[in-house]
Each structure stands twice: as structure tokens, then as C-alpha cells.
Amino acid sequence: MKKILVTGGAGYIGSHTVVDLIEAGYEVVVADNFHNSRPAALEGVRAITGKTVRHYDVDLADRDATLAMFAEHDFAGAIHFAAYKLVGESVDKPLEYYRNNLNSLLNVIEGLQLQGNSNLVFSSSCSVYGNADELPVTEDTPRKTAESPYAMTKQLGEDIISDYCKTRPDFKAILLRYFNPAGAHESGLIGEDPSNPPSNLVPVITGVAAGNLAFDKMTVFGTDYPTRDGSNVRDYIHVQDLARAHTLALEYVMGEKMKSNIDLFNLGIGDGLTVLEVIEAFEKVNGVKLNYELGARRAGDVVAVYADRTKATEVLGWEPQRGVDEIMRTAWAWETKANKAG
């Protein structure tokens, strides 16, 4: 049984990917210091899979601690999620984002190198495209100026991996540029449950509707964008579909079919929804009215971005199975679940 390291494995996307990996027959080790996640996620993984994963409470930006963890294992590959990810916070705290996100990546690469491993899947983001000139974006779409320090850390992370792969032909990496993950596991046992206040659209919608946030009204940031209704356009992908894509990418990078030692894929449904359309979908699917107001634009937000996923389908065999209705149904079921961590 191949052993896989998942950094940030107690986080939202990480925990769903851990489930998918276990169900695909892998042994998983998680590194997560719970900066923006909770131990309850790993309990949820155990409840779903019947497996207790080995967990390291390690700050991956700490080189010595990270390399000590690697010394205890022989990993067949690693999926690197661990990073600070709040766009607005990154604008206010750029140095913290650069220090954490880049140092943790460097240390994970070094750890893989020291044990002779050569397989990495990197959690990148559609934010690397900035305000793209054409939509939908493809893997060949030029990256534009990053709109936030968070987005810049993803651009720089991709560049670090690319530069390293040029010097090490035996090191293989996949960059996954995914769009807006949302929803929760169909079991209702894991979902988006950050320890910090949520900033992503769907958990803000469900949190406001359930009365679980410090504020009882949601703000739609920007109503004068050049879109259908003036609000931002994003590509929303169900988190279980996204998790499956990571497993497929891992199998691809560990296999023999890659034509070069680095590749990248867009992961999205391939269509865009505005913020106001997402709110409408939530209200329709769950029969709940949302209390919201219209506000000014927010620093760091791009106007619109959504994916062309043709390459991921053709190369990885990845097909999203769930749409916006399933996203909203599972997100609401998770938000209103009685035993959700508070």
C-alpha cells in the first residue's frame, strides 16, 4: 500500500481528499497544525472510512520540524494543500502570507528530495490568472498581475516548482489550478469548518442563513462589475469532485504517462455563476431566504474567472458529477448539522 503525505489534510479540501485517497486504497499521513482547521475533521474522516490517519501537528514553515517528519516515512507522493488562503487577510498581512506559503512549499520539496521521492501535487488556484482577457481560461491562458498577495504566493509557488523541475528531471509535479470549491461530503460528516471566520461565499451564505456567524447580514461586494448582474462571476466546484481530481492527479504523476516532468490542469465545472445567482440557487434549493445587502467592491477580487476543463477530462479522465444544486444542498445540510464543530 503506497503511503501519501497530505499537508493541510485536516482542512476543507484536504480532508475530503484524504477520504478519497483512503477509498482508493492509499495509506495517508496528514500534516496540519490546525491554523485554520479543526481536529474534528480527522474524526470525520475516520467515521467515513473506518481508518485512523497518522497526524503530525507540525508547522511546515519550520524547516527542522518538517524534515524530521519526512525522516520517519517513505512517501510515494505528496499533495501540498497547506497554506494561508484568505484573500482579504493577505492584503492586510502580506509578509505573513509570503513567509508561510513559500517557506512551507520549500520545506516540503526539500523533504521529498531528501528521501528520494519525486512526486508532488501542488494546490494552486485560479487566482493566478488575475483578470484574464478571455473566458473561459485554459491552461495556456497567460497569467496576469496577481490581484492579492495570496494570489502572488500561488504564482510564485508554481514558479518555484517549475524552476526546480528544470534542474531535476527525476522530480515530477502536477499544478492544480482550481476554482471555487464548495459544498460538503454527502455523508454530512465533514464540510467547510474553518477555525477562523469564513470569507468564501458559500460558507458565508450558509452561516448567515443559519445564524452561526457574528453578523446576521451578508454583503455582496460589488454591484458595478461588467457582468450579467454587476456582481463577481466565479466557477463553483463541489468539493468531492475536487477531491477526486487530486487522487487522479496523484496517480498520473506517479505513473508513466507524463510526457514531461511537470504539468498543470484547470479544475472547475466550466461555467460561471455570479454572486447573486449563487444566492438565488441557495434560496431555491433549500427554501430559505437570505438576509443580504449590496456593498462596494472588495480589494483583491477579480471581476470574473471560470475554467475550460477539457484538458483535465481528456488527460486525467476527470468529470465533475455534481452541480450548484448539490453544492447548496450539501453545504446547507452541513451548516445545520447538530454535531458540527463550533
The residues annotated as belonging to the active site are 150
- Tally of CB atoms within 10 A around 163: 10
Task: Give the Cα-Cα-Cα angle 306, 310, 314 (nearest 5 degrees).
Answer: 150
Provide the grid cell at 245. 481530481
In angstroms, the Cα distances linking 13 to 163, 265, 299 are 26, 17, 25
Radius of gyration from C-alpha coordinates of the chain: 19
Query: Is the separation of the CB atoms in 216 and 290 below 8 Å?
Result: no
DSSP labels, 66-109: HHHHHHT---SEEEE--S---HHHHHH-HHHHHHHHHHHHHHHH
Determine whether 142 is exposed, middle or buried from the number of CB atoms within 10 Å of its CB (0-12, 13-18, 19+): exposed
> With the CA atoms of 294, 299, 300 and 301 taken in that order, what torsion angle do they form, in degrees rounded to the nearest 10?
20
d(CA 153, CA 100): 9
Provide the grid cell at 156. 510564485
Query: Is the separation of the CB atoms in 2 and 226 below 8 Å?
Result: no
Provide the grid cell at 127. 487566482
Q: What are phi and psi of 6, to 5 degrees?
A: -120, 110
Give me the sign of the Cα torsion angle 265, 325, 19, 104. positive
Kindly report whether the peptide bond that precedes residue 169 is cis, defined as omega within 30 degrees of 0: no
3-state class (DSSP) for residue 274: strand
